[in-house]
Chains A and B, each alone.
Chain A
């Protein structure tokens, strides 16, 4: 397709988009990302379809990606003819009737489970959706389309300025694109934060007949789902970014290396790629520019280490995903020994907007050294969980309290950077988030997982969790990583079981430094970070475990007991019914008895007492 035809396509796409926005039929949008579906979006949609049928009404039902506040899922937006789109939160199937009856049969907007509206004008008593406390401080560049457009519809993307940036790039020399990206200050969003333009120019400067571009969608950090959400919600933003990157570095073939655990994202990508092919945005002579590019999807087979560039390349080549020494860096010698650029999903998803709005526009956000915005998955013990995008330089406090609404119990720590990162204590809450500050504090930016924990979380247990993960995921090539992480897990497990010996803490710290120093790749090089930061900022908690054999957060199973508080127990027998080992006994209306010998600490009684029982909170878990 030539450039003229793209203009024709764009006009048609805009008509289609406007027709949807001002549709004569009601339109129902369902937040159907993996998170929405997990919360029950499919059931909500089915209930809405049933309601329409039962009431003889018609409407368009659309699945959209995740708009961000996952804790409000399932989200159902409704746009009645001539009225603005309004969003309803936590819409379970049983809520559908009340909401749709109100909208279809009455004139007032039902307030039941109403989150906000998407109109430019004010509606009395209804907040604007993007003014909700979780969304207001955000700046949406990467997420600009997520949750708003139908991700399976290339025309929606095109109508909202999609594929304008690549058109603009192809009209000039690749050097101009490189220069724009350089001036924007964009750094790799996968975690390490290497300047994107620098990597690109190394690749471009390497003589070769073939160059490759790989989109790294092997989002392996547990607790992080930014890439999944972006691909599910706006796949074309990533793919247009790939076109821009490929044009700049002179690549003729690209791969998306994506986790097999993300089936919906893979499906969305496949649809998007075939739509691009149909529009001539992939293949030979794209937009009549002479630039040719193709994309292949490679499904990862489940190995955390494959997020590492050289391991990822080995995996695409059909080998065990084991890292190799660098240099040569992949930008010089990568896939099939050709110069290869590996960019993270989010890095790529930024590109089109940077090109369209200009480098200066992008660089207005952020700090001196870290420009632009960054997506984070804000999860853990925070009230408002979900996917957010904020300008770099925002403080952890703003993210956790203003956006996240604070923690359930007293704030304890925030973990960034996944298994390679660290735990930061309350003294760092006013630290501005950027690459340098987080590194100086002993953590890393990482790909964007922010796990907030409160007083109910045990830091020793969490350190053990991360080390268990890296120990399992170590490829085994370097002895300090393979054996060292195993010993670290052992030392941490002993602490959690109250079996530590004198000197274990020092031994652990020394070993952690050895693993760091003696490993080839970033997995081993950063694996001890969770231990080192935790022992530094939460030393007292380690000593409690290792010396006093207590778990102050009452998490470590070997160090806690379950106990019934006689003054609170009403003898309702709910706990007796759920106890799998018959450890709890007692007749109705009398204080029950819990036999610690029989108790397997399964938590059933604790939960039933808290949520279902008459007394509530009569069973406590405590460390003695």
Chain B
């Protein structure tokens, strides 16, 4: 029961204000999002108002308040990804699944998030599907990936001559 999981979590933490963000992070790990009843219990535990907790939680990009999809799609829109066509990548997913960033498909299968930099800038543009990062995406490669084609993995034919002569 995830309700018990929250209780066990709260018992681990002293009722200190500075524990609010770690508590919200752990709560999200348990439920996949931050449910309203959980906020109520955290509020009692830390003696911080629910209002205040929502204020903090909505400030940070990490917290979501809707149940996530079964698969997470994250499109990186860091600068390197942007100049190498990240917007088109996002557009492709949007169109294919008819979802907006922050939303979940009607069947609960996928959720979509735009993130500012996964730190793989040298291999831009980058997309993360669940916990796997896919590099050097193109619209076509992404479509192949989403269609579940196995041969759409990474390892593009890169140019050896770019290493230059030593």
Q: Which of A304, A449, A602 has a CB less than 8 Å from the CB of B79?
A: A449
Bound CA span A409–B48, Å:
56
Q: Using an 8 Å CB-CB cutoff, how does the interface string of B114-130 with A read, 1 for contact, 0 for none? A: 01111111111010000
**Does A387 interact with chain B (Cβ within 8 Å)?**
yes
Name 8 interchain pairs, CB-CB below 8 A, sorted by A: A34-B118, A132-B163, A132-B166, A315-B21, A318-B16, A380-B84, A600-B95, A602-B95
Q: Which chain A residues numbered 356 to 384 have a C-beta less than 8 Å away from chain B?
A: 377-381, 383-384
B123 to A385, Cβ gap below 8 A? Answer: yes
Chain B residues near A580: list those with CB within 8 A.
Answer: 95
A607 to B121, Cβ gap below 8 A? Answer: no
Q: Chain A CB within 10 Å — which of B55, B77, B135 has the most?
A: B135
Chain A residues near B165: list those with CB within 8 A.
Answer: 133
Bound CA span A608–B142, Å:
13
Chain A residues near B59: list those with CB within 8 A.
Answer: 303, 320-321, 475
B60 to A90, Cβ gap below 8 A? Answer: no
**Does A428 interact with chain B (Cβ within 8 Å)?**
no
B122 to A385, Cβ gap below 8 A? Answer: yes
Q: Which of A115, A222, A229 has a CB less than 8 Å from the CB of B116?
A: A222
The distance from the CB of A551 to the nearest CB of chain B, in whole angstroms, is: 14
Q: Which of B4-12, B65-73, B102-110, B151-159 contacts A (4 or more CB under 8 A)?
A: B151-159
Q: Which of B18, B143, B162 has a CB less than 8 Å from the CB of A604?
A: B143
Chain A residues near B60: list those with CB within 8 A.
Answer: 300-303, 321
Apart from A34-B118, A131-B166, A302-B62, 20 more pairs, CB < 8 Å: A34-B119, A39-B154, A40-B154, A40-B155, A71-B162, A225-B119, A229-B119, A261-B117, A298-B21, A301-B21, A301-B60, A315-B21, A318-B21, A320-B55, A379-B122, A380-B84, A381-B83, A453-B83, A457-B83, A469-B116
Q: Smallest CB-CB separation from B127: which chain A residue?
A: A38
B154 to A465, Cβ gap below 8 A? Answer: no
A228 to B119, Cβ gap below 8 A? Answer: yes
Interface residues of chain A, those whose CB is within 8 Å of chain B, are: 34-35, 37-40, 43, 70-74, 89-90, 92-94, 113, 115-116, 127-128, 131-134, 219-225, 228-229, 260-262, 298-304, 315-321, 377-381, 383-387, 405, 415, 418, 449, 451, 453, 457, 462, 465-466, 469, 473, 475, 578, 580, 600, 602-604, 607-608, 611-612
B120 to A225, Cβ gap below 8 A? Answer: yes
A451 to B79, Cβ gap below 8 A? Answer: yes
A133 to B166, Cβ gap below 8 A? Answer: yes
Q: Smallest CB-CB separation from A608: which chain B residue?
A: B140
Bound CA span A73–B85, Å:
20
A39 to B155, Cβ gap below 8 A? Answer: yes
The distance from the CB of A618 to the nearest CB of chain B, in whole angstroms, is: 16
Bound CA span A144–B162, Å:
24
Q: Which of B16, B17, B91, B166 has a CB less than 8 Å from the CB of A602?
A: B91
A133 to B122, Cβ gap below 8 A? Answer: no
Top 8 closest pairs, chain A to chain B, by CB = A92-B155, A127-B166, A70-B122, A223-B79, A302-B61, A222-B78, A301-B60, A385-B122
The distance from the CB of B64 to the nearest CB of chain A, in whole angstroms, is: 11
Q: Smallest CB-CB separation from A322: which chain B residue?
A: B59
